A and B are shown apart, each in its own frame.
Chain A
């Protein structure tokens, strides 16, 4: 018997993209025959811990399937045993680690457990540890809380404390300022804290790259021996595969091969999972091939993680690199890399016309796709502004009469050849010869007509698209129209949501107008985005976190059911930065800089900013900057709530540039008056140069209520200005909380949409700025290291196209 019980934190989702679409990280296959959770559970058995609770998030079918009754780990007990404690409140979104709120949902479990001490540890660590040694350390040190680190000082998110202490946090989760044990350890005062360093190999696995590296480590015999010990075996679910079979043509070196595998090709430095088949003439190297994959004749796989049941067809080539591991999706079919043609339909695109970020994405994507060997075509309406600027370069390709609303309307197709990408424009006097892109009463008709016309012009394209990629609600009818088109119903569609708040709700009469009278439509209105989401082959949005958030009604509102229904076909791909500004080349700033001279340059730029803004000029001032639209979405409600408390620290200055909602602007003016010399609001878009703020501020504030992707925070990072953001959407995917132990992270973030949490992180950032200059230097350097190239974004889209 044992005085310790274990809480396995399986709430962390990591950033695995495809690998965790149908399972949680704890259920990820590892080491050819294991699942990550096997290590935590085997450590329990080997440490004689008999009371274990697993807190999973969302999709835990695969996990519970694997664990069963727990008898493989001797956890099927009369007293205690294994408990899977699912989330009760499904509206809680994902967090980095288990919150006290989440534990409170199962308070009874903690109260009822008879052991005095509890270890909280994630499900995704690969290690072979005796938990009692940690308990011993905790007791000898007389600590209140012990954190476990690995030999390279990485935090393992593993904490040991007494049940009594933990219960106090759980029971008061709604009145304390700590959400989880990491925060307690980092910020709580009056606790005796110790660290236990686990010297043997241990890997925390939260990205595909980490999964890859940990797998490769198993090929080191000595390291492998420290994880798979004879006297402390790792137990796993029993399966019935036959022993591994090698054919006479096999050539295998430096690899781990699980039972049931059939190898007839060549395999180097790879992990081959159960029942995987490597056919004659296939080459696999530096790859993790999971269960039941099939690598057909002559195929090549390198630097890849192939999820279960992936089939690499004969002759196909799968190539990743050490930095960018190729990851396949479960049951994916990888074909020979034929050239594919992708047509993007959008209403704005850089460099032709732009009102917002959408234009940047379409433009940058079309360019990058051509670089990656994809035939890239873009089709746009020929708006007046484009016509004026590009008339001389446009070539008339075809003319057609398009039947719309019972009337034949003339449409002309022009082309513009930009080296690799082919741009087409559709001219129509009635609908597109206007000064603005949006904002007309007949927007519904205009974009429906554009959709219909662009599909009609497919006939004249020399190269027919394999995939049509449409953006936002404007093109929402495309998948439906395509389905009913006589010649093109086989073309696959991808719909990208840039912001779900704009859905395009119009009269359902539009269906009649485009010629789909036969579709009986209930109701008077048609929702363009909803229609698109229903019929598109796949759907995507602009960041992985926003993708996850859209599963909750708070974010996706009326479309929540539909989004959840399409969950399997829904992807989150982070936008890269299209903005070319760079502190090294930015001519508008006082002193240009890069990583090597950032410190001195920032001083000068800060001084310049303070002078320009008529603020008190002092280097020890902590300048908080903000650039963007002044609307509710950007978090102004919590800024107002936090402002006075934040300004109590008289070393804080605040500079803003933006325009928007009159109500917010008025309140901002009042604040400016209240804090002379410390606050400057520039309330029109040309009031000052945003670069002054990016280069001169110390931190960049972005407490958005929601943020599909966001670009300002990426620019701020590039300028070495530390972002303080709310943990939502693209902000969560680009900003990593600074960790003083590992010295990793590039900013600060908070979870609750709450003034108190905002103030807490601002104070936290200030502590580093004012009192830990070394950490601050490190933060700035980390921030400037972050790269958000659009090339990576395009690679992800290209992978998605090829998968369709």
Chain B
């Protein structure tokens, strides 16, 4: 089957900066906004852009992610001639082909691209929160006859040092690139979303198998730009957040609470963000439950106070418990009279009755410390 565009989602990174949240699961499988997983946003954007050939390149803790995605039916990606393929490391002639860098993973599976006779390859990352119609990016790419188009968005100047920053001329051609500059000269950040013509990508990846490490941001993109290729930029406007750290994950959750119209999730007119359904009953608020400015997922039982928090599915907030400015991941129990503030409570944590946890800075609550009940 001939598919003009093949998408490859890179989820290989260990996500160590998310600490305990990724101790057993891959970063894209981390929960967000009560009922979502990070990967939902990318998969939904793909299906909403009518792109249905997707390779997911993964190597750390792929089980949870694979089980979650399955054949991709929840995102309508289980088509007969397209669909989702997991591209995991394998052994070849006795050598385990452990992936060395993001681009290396793509190089290893280049046959996947060739099999579909794709004219372009869309490289995506699986841990960003945004909604994009990739067809707009493709249109810009074809219109300007680019060999490579990079999606980019303007970031606040004080954060620019965390990103790969692009230098663009008047014709939207990329003329310079700096990965995580100490003193950024611009604030147009690469989103890690690239559209390559297939032959261009193939040539750029030559020798990847022998290199020590090969990465898109570090190696491939600079060599395309400085190698004189026609590299364009697609300027994206809208909410976009890379949730690589605890802080950014927490803030994105808070953004969702504060913005009534966050990503248009509550409006039926917008393109939907799909998520796998878990056959849970709706949540119930009991006599003593009180919820203000919060987001609650299915299956919860709320009998305590919830303020400015997101509460994942199947959580139980018991009587007189109080939860403020928290991100409660699925399956947690907050015991009677417990007070939790400023925390990300990890999956399935059972907070004992009358436990108090009030850190100054956002902190993950994972294992309940032995000893006293108050942590401030």
Contact residues, A178-222 vs B (CB, 8 A):
218-219, 221
CB of A427 to closest CB in B, whole Å: 58
**Which of A92-100, A227-235, A532-540, A673-681 interfaces with chain B?**
A227-235
Q: Give the CA-CA distance A253 to B302 in the complex, in Å.
A: 9
Given contact pairs A275-B268, A292-B268, A243 touches B281 in the complex (Cβ within 8 A): no
Closest residue on chain A to residue B263 by CB atoms? A242
- A257 in contact with B283 (CB, 8 Å): yes
Alpha-carbon separation in the docked complex, A239 to B273 (Å): 10
Q: Are A246 and B281 in contact (CB under 8 A)?
A: no
Residues 491-512 of A at the B interface (beta carbon under 8 Å): none
Q: Which residues of A contact B310 (CB under 8 A)?
A: 243
Question: Are A240 and B275 in contact (CB-based, < 8 A)?
Answer: yes
Scoring B273, B293, B301 by chain A CB atoms within 10 A of each residue's CB, the highest score goes to B293
8 Å CB contact of B291 from A238, A252, A256: A252
Chain A interface residue bracket vs B: 35 or more
Give the residues in chain B near A224, CB-CB below 8 Å: 281, 284
* Residue in chain B with minimal CB distance to A263: B291
- Shortest C-beta distance, A224 to chain B (Å), equals 7
| Beta-carbon contact of A250 and B292 below 8 Å | yes
Nearest-CB residue, chain A, relative to B265: A242
In the bound complex, CA of A440 to CA of B242 (Å): 86
- Are B266 and A242 in contact, CB atoms less than 8 angstroms apart? yes
Contact yes or no, B34 A239, CB < 8 A: no
Check if A641 is an interface residue, CB within 8 A of chain B: no
What is the distance, in angstroms, from A236's C-beta to the closest C-beta of chain B? Answer: 7
Give the shortest distance, in Å, between A123 (CB) and chain B (any CB).
19
**Alpha-carbon distance A510/B310, docked complex (angstroms):** 70
- Which residues 254-294 in B have Cβ within 8 Å of A in the complex? 260, 265-266, 268, 272-277, 279-287, 289-294
B-facing mask of A386-400, CB < 8 A → 1, else 0?
A: 000000000000000
Q: Are A33 and B291 in contact (CB under 8 A)?
A: no
**Would A246 and B274 be within 8 Å (CB), given that A221-B301, A257-B283 are in contact?**
no
Residue B35 at the A interface, CB < 8 A?
yes
> A682 near B: Cβ within 8 Å?
no
Asked whether A221 and B284 contact (CB < 8 A) given A234-B279, A245-B266, A248-B292, the answer is yes
Given contacts A240-B275, A246-B295, 16 further A-B contacts (CB under 8 A): A33-B282, A218-B284, A219-B284, A224-B284, A239-B277, A240-B272, A246-B292, A248-B293, A250-B291, A252-B290, A253-B286, A256-B281, A256-B285, A257-B296, A258-B298, A262-B266
Count of chain B residues near A, Cβ 8 A: 36
CA distance A228 to B298 in the complex (A): 12
A284 at the interface (CB under 8 A from B): no
A240 near B274: Cβ-Cβ < 8 Å: yes
A240 to B272, CA, bound (A): 7
Interface presence of B74 (CB below 8 A): yes
Q: How far is the CA of A218 from the CA of B280 in the complex (A)?
A: 14
A451 interfacial contact with B, CB 8 Å: no
User: Quick one: CB contact mask for A463-503 with B, threshold 8 Å, 1 for yes?
Assistant: 00000000000000000000000000000000000000000
Q: Inside 8 A of A311's CB, which chain B residues have their CB? A: none
CA distance A228 to B280 in the complex (A): 8
Q: How far is the CA of A248 from the CA of B290 in the complex (A)?
A: 11
Q: Which of B280, B286, B293, B295 contacts A244 (CB 8 A)?
A: B295
Give complex CA distance A254, B289 in Å. Answer: 8
A625 on interface, CB distance cutoff 8 Å? no
Which chain B residues border A260 with CB–CB below 8 Å?
266
Q: List 27 A-B contacts (CB under 8 A).
A: A31-B282, A33-B298, A219-B284, A221-B284, A221-B301, A224-B284, A228-B281, A240-B273, A242-B35, A242-B265, A243-B295, A244-B295, A245-B260, A245-B266, A246-B293, A246-B294, A247-B292, A248-B292, A249-B292, A250-B292, A252-B289, A253-B289, A256-B282, A256-B284, A257-B283, A262-B266, A275-B268
Task: Using CB atoms, name the residue of chain B closest to A247.
Answer: B293
Q: With A240-B274, A243-B297, A248-B292 in contact, do A258 and B287 touch (Cβ < 8 Å)?
A: no
Q: A240-B273, A243-B33 are in contact. Are A259 and B285 (CB under 8 A)?
A: no
Chain B residue contacts of A234, Cβ below 8 A: 279, 281
Q: What is the CA–CA distance of A262 and B298 in the complex, to the nearest angstrom? A: 14
**Interface flag for A411 (CB, 8 Å):** no
Q: Given the complex, which residues of A lie within 8 Å of B306, measured CB to CB?
A: 246
Q: Compute how far the CA of A257 lies from the CA of B289 in the bound complex, rounded to whole angstroms.
A: 13
| Interface check A160, CB cutoff 8 A | no
Central interface residue in A238, A243, A246, A258, by most chain B CB within 10 Å: A243
Q: Is A242 within 8 A of B293, CB to CB?
A: no
A374 at the interface (CB under 8 A from B): no
Interface core residue of B74, B266, B285 (most chain A CB under 10 Å) = B285
> B306: nearest residue on chain A (CB-CB)?
A246
- How far is the CB of A276 from the nearest CB of chain B, in Å? 11
Give the residue of A219, A259, A272 whose beta carbon is less than 8 angstroms from that of B298: A259
Which residue of A is nearest B291, CB measured? A246
* In-complex Cβ contact of B283 among A254, A256, A292 (8 A): A256
Q: How far is the CA of A31 from the CA of B281 in the complex (A)?
A: 8
- The CA-CA distance from A247 to B295 in the complex, in Å, is 9
A50, CB-defined interface residue at 8 Å: no
Judge if A255 is at the interface, Cβ distance under 8 Å.
Answer: yes
Smallest Cβ distance from B21 to chain A, in angstroms?
19
Question: What distance in Å separates the Cβ of A310 from its nearest Cβ neighbour in chain B?
Answer: 15
The residues of B that contact A259 with a CB separation of less than 8 Å are: 35, 282, 297-298
Residues of A within 8 A of B35 (CB): 242-243, 259
A246: which B residues are within 8 A, CB to CB? 291-296, 306
Instruction: Please tell me if A714 contacts chain B, counting CB pairs below 8 Å.
Output: no
Residue of B nearest to A228 (CB): B281
Cβ of A118 < 8 Å from any Cβ of B?
no
- With both beta carbons as reference points, the residue of chain B lying nearest to A260 in the complex is identified as B266
- Whether A255 pairs with B285 at a CB distance below 8 angstroms is yes
List the 5 shortest-distance A-B pairs measured between CB atoms, nearest first.
A242-B265, A243-B34, A258-B282, A240-B272, A238-B277
In the bound complex, how far is the Cα of B272 from the Cα of A258, in angstroms? 17
B288 (CB) vs chain A CBs: closest residue: A253
Q: Once bound together, how far apart are the Cα atoms of A219 and B301, in whole Å?
A: 11
Tell me the smallest distance from the CB of B266 to a CB of chain A, in Å: 5
A234, B296: Cα distance in complex, Å:
20
Contact B287 A244 (CB under 8 A): no
A residues less than 8 Å from B33 (CB atoms) = 242-243
Q: Counting CB contacts under 8 A, is A32 at the interface?
A: yes
B276 cross-chain contacts in A, Cβ below 8 A: 238
Cα A606 to Cα B285 in complex, Å, equals 59
Using Cβ atoms and an 8 Å threshold, which residues of chain B touch A244?
A: 282-283, 295-297
Q: A253 contacts B281, CB within 8 Å? A: no
**Which chain A residue lies CB-closest to B34?**
A243
Known: A234-B281, A240-B275. A221 touches B286 (CB 8 A): yes
State A255–B288 Cα separation when bound (angstroms): 11
Residue among A239, A244, A251 with the most chain B CB within 10 A? A244
Cβ distance B374 to chain A, nearest Cβ, rounded Å: 28
A340 to B76, CA, bound (A): 50
B273: chain A residues within 8 A (beta carbon): 240, 242
Contacts of B293 in A (CB 8 A): 246-248
Q: Which residues of B contact A245 (CB under 8 A)?
A: 260, 266, 294-295
**Residue on B with the closest CB to A251?**
B290
B101 CB to nearest A CB, Å:
35
Inter-chain CA distance A591–B211, complex, in Å, is: 110
Chain A residues with CB under 8 A of B274: 240
CA distance A238 to B280 in the complex (A): 11
CA distance in complex: A731, B283 (Å): 44
Distance A262 CA – B279 CA, assembled complex (angstroms)? 21
Give the complex CA separation of A85 and B249 in angstroms.
Answer: 50
CB distance from A733 to the nearest CB of B (A): 34
Q: From residue B4, how far is it (CB to closest CB) to chain A in Å? A: 27
Given the complex of chains A and B, what is the CA–CA distance between A253 and B285 in angstroms?
A: 6
Q: Which residues from A are CB-within-8-Å of B266?
A: 242, 245, 260, 262, 275
Q: Which of A218, A256, A259, A292 has the most CB of B within 10 A?
A: A259
Are the CB atoms of A233 and B283 closer together than 8 Å? no
- Chain B residues with Cβ under 8 A from A242's Cβ? 33, 35, 265-266, 273
Q: Which residues of A contact B279 (CB under 8 A)?
A: 233-236
